[in-house]
Amino acid sequence: MIHTIEVPISDDLLRVIDARARCAGVGREEYIRTVLSRDVNDSLTLARVLAPFRAEVAVSGIADEDLNILFEQAREKAFRERHSGDQ
């Protein structure tokens, strides 16, 4: 089954879409279909990439609170490293 979606798009965005479609050698509709499909499939790919990590977390028995602490510590460390030269 094919569905048609109508959404308002600004003239500026439409110009960008048309330019990218021309560069890709396809029409506007095909380009938009490709971009949407890629976006949806990338989300599915991310779920597949994270699946082994999720399985390891489940097997490890680590509590959600402990996992949150580990992520927060890693986030803070990465922030400090990125901004250490800003001073």
Q: How does pLDDT run across 56-71, given as a tens digit for each residue?
A: 999 999 999 999 999 9
Within a domain: 1: no
Within a domain: 37: yes
pLDDT above 70: residue 87: no
The arithmetic mean of pLDDT across residues 72-77, rounded, is 96
Within a domain: 74: yes
- Place 47 in a pLDDT band, splitting at 50, 70 and 90: confident
Quote the domain boundaries for residue 38: 11-83
The answer to whether residues 47 and 56 touch, using CB atoms and an 8 Å cutoff, is no
Four-CA torsion 39, 44, 47, 48, nearest 10 degrees: -130
Within a domain: 19: yes
Within a domain: 33: yes
Task: Specify the number of domains making up the chain.
Answer: 1
pTM of the model: 0.52
Residue 48 tokens read as 């597949």
**DSSP alpha helices (H): ranges in 1-87?**
11-24, 28-60, 64-83
Within a domain: 69: yes
